Structure 1
Amino acid sequence: MERGMSINTVVIGSRHSGTSTLFSILDVLASVGRDWEMLHGLPMQVPLFSASLRTVDGAPYWDVNGRKITPDAMLGEAPEPDVIIVSDLHIDPNAGLPEDLRPVADWIAAAHARGAIVTSVCSGSVLLGAAGLLDGEEATTHWGYADMLGRDFPEVKVCRERILVPAGDGHRVVTAGGASAWADLMLYLIGRLAGAEEARRVAKIYLIDPHLDGQLSYASLTSGRQHQDQLIADAQVWAAKHYDSPSPVSAMADQCGMTERGFHRRFKKATGQAPADYVQTLRVEEAKQLLETTAAPIDEISAEVGYSEPSSFRSAFRKRVGISASAYRKKWRALAPVAN
């Protein structure tokens, strides 16, 4: 964009949206060309982003946190948006898209067809899926909504490990991961539309560091999909207590009175995972907890969660978490209370 041109940006609100992400986005966009200049005694720039909070009807609403929010306008009001940002949606990941969001999805699809860049933060990606903008494309979302995105929109290539995924013709669709990935999205949009220097200035003002390691190190690996197969549910309960046993998959099949091949097929149909992968997930999740809360050596943790070879544990951990076990411990032990 040329200097002096205002980038009309619509941030979409709804009763399903949180408070902080919406207003953090609005605050950051308003600061571009203003706050750095103010801090350095430089002339103020023409605002680079003209951002508004809009809803279907423009009426005040109570958000999911019980805050009364007054939008700036209705979705259909002028001017046409150059950029659309869908914030996080607090919806049930085991249910479909709420009906009151269907008109929003239709509006997004029409705006994109007219040339708008459409973006989402966190679970807001499911609204882009409903708008048909992610079919055949890569996309990311909050790790807790990755299964929903893949289930409800099977043509989407879900990249649950990534923080930011530009996609589509001209990269006019951009999805960002968990709720705090709003900051990564802001730096990306500001750098793309206002220049890298503006993005660096905003990062310095707000002390923003991009999530370069992705979001796997934040994810709960055992937030799998729900199912109604009681036999498999009982096997999962058994596995949660005996994941460290030498041959847990064979033991689960025996518990169910099935052949391993038949058990494998039924388990994967119910859970979406092969039983061996499920056991590995349980082991790594327990290892994460031990790394966060104890000072036990990593090789000792490896043996405790069922790995006979530390190298196998380290490989499985990195594959599922995205970083090494030692890096994970350093990351999360930093939050431990400081001893007096």
Structure 2
Amino acid sequence: MNIDTVVIGSRFAGTSTLFSILDVLASVGRDWEALHGLPSLEPYFSVSLRTHDAAPYWDINGRKITPDAALNELPTPDLIIVPDLHLDPAGGLPEEFAPVVDWIRDAYARGAMVTSVCSGSLLLGAAGALDGNEATTHWGYADMLGRNFPEVKVCRERILVPTGEGHRVVTAGGASAWADLMLYLIGRFAGADVARRIAKIYLIEPHADGQLTYASLTACRQHEDQLVAASQIWAAEHYNVSSPVAAMARSSQLTDRGFHRRFKRATGQAPADYVQTLRIEEAKQLLETTEMPIDDISTEVGYTEPSSFRSAFRKRVGISASAYRKKWRALAPTAG
């Protein structure tokens, strides 16, 4: 089986993800065999880097990239991969993506499998491939995806989401989730044994914990409501006090219902959820940077019952507080 694969280049795309995808797919059937003295197999993937016009471009990191072909050249792809795109999370897709979106839409209608890494999901959304389906993206672009494409169910906690008829649509989370997507695609087209071999060669493995353990929970949509902004500033300094939401409502001089409605309209979160988010984010920082006991952290960020804190932490972060500390304290510098 030889899968004609197109990786879409763009001046907005990151360098490492783009070329990691190209490198890994090119190695299937070649590198494991070379390491074990075996003859190379026929390539599983025939991969080309394409753009709308095939002209050389400078990517977001200032690297000059020369595409292999234009999107409309033959062969027509069996598989399309959109890498990460460095876009404004508060905006929309730049107009220059319009012909790329049209091409993806036509290719998908003809039966191609369409996939994305990170914010590349926005192109799949614009092409209509995500309508009525679940999808994931980088946590920093989850609001943008949901705002621009309200028919999409955004699963911001997940790393990989195959969806649609025949699972012909696959979205992957953050930029490093290119590895999860590659292992999935290799396993699907070349078999699980081949995927395991590639994982061993590149020392990669699936992000089994999802992406909540990496997310900044306080990344939220921008707004211009000054009253709500003032409440957010107050909450950032007083999230650990008793009944902070009631205090915020009193300060706004609105009714409780009016304040809740206005706050959620501006931020996308209920005030109580927003305060919980601030508390958990501060707890994450304390777990990463101090040796403070977890029960003391619970009290420090405003919980009266450690069990309530532990439950809220796991719900929002995806793992326990102790597992989170172990994961991130491993990056702390050790004494020489």
Same fold? TM cut 0.5? yes
Taking only the aligned residue pairs, the percentage that are identical comes to 79
Q: Does 1:256 align with 2:246?
A: no
Partner of 2:278: helix, strand, or coil?
helix
Quote the residue 1:160 is aligned against. 156
> Does the aligned pair in 2 maintain the 1:10–1:54 contact within 8 Å?
yes
Quote the residue 1:7 is aligned against. 3
Shift of 1:102: 1.2
Q: Does 1:233 align with 2:229?
A: yes
Q: Does 1:44 align with 2:12?
A: no
The residue identity in structure 2 corresponding to 1:110 is D
Shift of 1:257: 1.1
Shift of 1:255: 1.1
Distance 2:242 2:254 in 1: 19
- C-alpha distance after superposition, 1:258-313 (max 9, x if no partner): 22221111101111100000000000000000000000000000000000000000
Distance 1:214 1:21 in 2: 19
Counterparts of 1:197-236 in structure 2 under 5 Å?
Answer: 197-236=193-232
- C-alpha distance after superposition, 1:72-109 (max 9, x if no partner): 00000000101000000000010011100111111001
Q: Does 1:310 align with 2:306?
A: yes
- Counterpart pick for 1:247 among 243, 267, 278: 243
Q: What TM-score, normalized by structure 2, do the two folds share?
A: 0.99
4+ residue segments displaced more than 3 Å: none
Q: Does 1:186 align with 2:182?
A: yes
The residue identity in structure 1 corresponding to 2:245 is V
Distance 2:323 2:71 in 1: 44
Partner of 1:261: helix, strand, or coil?
helix
Q: Does 1:120 align with 2:116?
A: yes
- C-alpha distance after superposition, 1:81-139 (max 9, x if no partner): 01000000000010011100111111001001111100000000000000001010000
Quote the residue 2:54 is aligned against. 58
Quote the residue 2:22 is aligned against. 26
Distance 1:317 1:102 in 2: 41
Shift of 1:339: 1.4
CA RMSD of aligned residues (A): 0.5
Figure out how many residues of one structure are paired with residues of the other and give that number: 336
Partner of 2:132: helix, strand, or coil?
coil
Partner of 2:335: helix, strand, or coil?
coil
Gaps of 5+ in 2: none
Gaps of 5+ in 1: none
Q: What TM-score, normalized by structure 1, do the two folds share?
A: 0.98
